[in-house]
A and B are shown apart, each in its own frame.
Chain A
Amino acid sequence: MRSKLIVTLAVVACLVLAWNIRTIFLHVPDEANQGAIFRILYFHVPSAMTSFCGFFVAMAFSLMYLYKQDLKYDSIAASITEVSLAFAIVTLVTGSIWGRIIWGVWWAWDARLTSYFICILIYSGYLMLRRAVDEPNQRARFSTVLSVLGCADITIVWKSIEWFRTQHPGPVLSVRNGGGMAPGMEAPVYINLIPLLMLCLALILVRTRQEDLRHEVDALRRTAHSF
């Protein structure tokens, strides 16, 4: 059942993505100042949104662990965090290449970039911590603390372009009262968000299946040791 769902999600995501890429390249005109490179926005922004959604859902599962004391929720939270971190890295890489053309530098220590970099460091630390702590309940509690810390940082990342006027442009999407894009240019951003979320969900399902396998291996090992 889960395998079928993973394949369905991946296939539908690829189809929607292919259709939207066609729109982005053939129907959306170049931006007047930036030329073709502005199209990287259609991957940069949806992957950032996907990672933000993932990190918040992971925090919800971590808090659910604290409430229910069931390690299943901690496993799900770890799976979601790992996949979301991959999308966060995509955001950082695409943003860096975009910045190289528009700002002339690969990186700037402005408020948005720095807070996002800190976010990636927090979640990388989260994954390293999980490898370092053996006791499952202690590991889950520490993970929850880092997850809450990471989400607090994401709030700063989200609001940083309103609070500080530094290198990164302010809000451009109409959902954030930006109004800096024509409607025809803005729609593919949201359409691309759908396949990226589906892809993210498919990867989370693969990752949770691996967590289940890991638990099965651990349980069998305990049985083997009892002989």
Chain B
Amino acid sequence: MDRNFLYLCYGLIAAWMVIFIYVISLALRERSLRQELDRVRKMVDDGERSSRGVNDPRP
């Protein structure tokens, strides 16, 4: 088991690092998309309120 075991570990670490980095990038992308969705939703709500003539309660 000892022969080339170190390189086997390098190979497995590298393989899982690729997947791990991809999963992290997916998570970051999802977070930014959700933030963007909240921002746009708020924008639409504000737009609807102002088009109905309701005063914006914010200062």
Which residues in A have some Cβ–Cβ distance to B below 8 Å?
A: 30, 34-37, 39-40, 43, 47, 83, 86, 89-90, 93-94, 97-98, 100-101, 199, 203, 206-207, 209-210, 213-214, 216-217, 220-221, 223-224, 227
How far in angstroms is the closest Cβ of chain B from A45? 12
The residue in chain A whose Cβ has the minimal distance to the Cβ of B43 is A224
- A-side interface mostly: helix
Residues of the A chain whose Cβ atoms lie less than 8 Å from the Cβ of B4: 34-37, 101
Chain B: how many interface residues by the 8 Å CB criterion? 31
Partner of B40, one of A83, A209, A221: A221
Q: How far is the CA of A210 from the CA of B37 in the complex (A)?
A: 11
Residues of the A chain whose Cβ atoms lie less than 8 Å from the Cβ of B54: none
Q: Is B58 in contact with chain A by the CB < 8 A criterion?
A: no
Q: How far is the CA of A99 from the CA of B12 in the complex (A)?
A: 14
How far in angstroms is the closest Cβ of chain B from A156? 24
6 examples of A-B residue contacts, CB within 8 angstroms: A37-B7, A43-B15, A94-B12, A209-B30, A220-B41, A227-B51
The residue in chain B whose Cβ has the minimal distance to the Cβ of A220 is B40
Q: How far is the CA of A98 from the CA of B15 in the complex (A)?
A: 12
Partner of A93, one of B18, B30, B33, B40: B18
Chain A-chain B contacts (Cβ-Cβ < 8 Å), number: 91
1/0 per residue, CB under 8 A from A, across B13-47: the answer is: 01100110011001001100110110011011001
Q: Which A-B residue pairs are the 6 nearest by beta carbons?
A: A35-B3, A227-B47, A37-B4, A97-B11, A35-B4, A36-B5
Residues of the A chain whose Cβ atoms lie less than 8 Å from the Cβ of B43: 220, 224
Partner of B18, one of A86, A209, A217: A86
Which residues in B have some Cβ–Cβ distance to A below 8 Å?
A: 1-5, 7-8, 10-12, 14-15, 18-19, 22-23, 26, 29-30, 33-34, 36-37, 40-41, 43-44, 47-48, 50-51
Partner of B15, one of A37, A83, A90: A90
Contact between A203 and B22 (Cβ–Cβ < 8 Å)? yes
Contact between A203 and B23 (Cβ–Cβ < 8 Å)? yes
Contact between A39 and B8 (Cβ–Cβ < 8 Å)? yes
Contact between B48 and A217 (Cβ–Cβ < 8 Å)? no
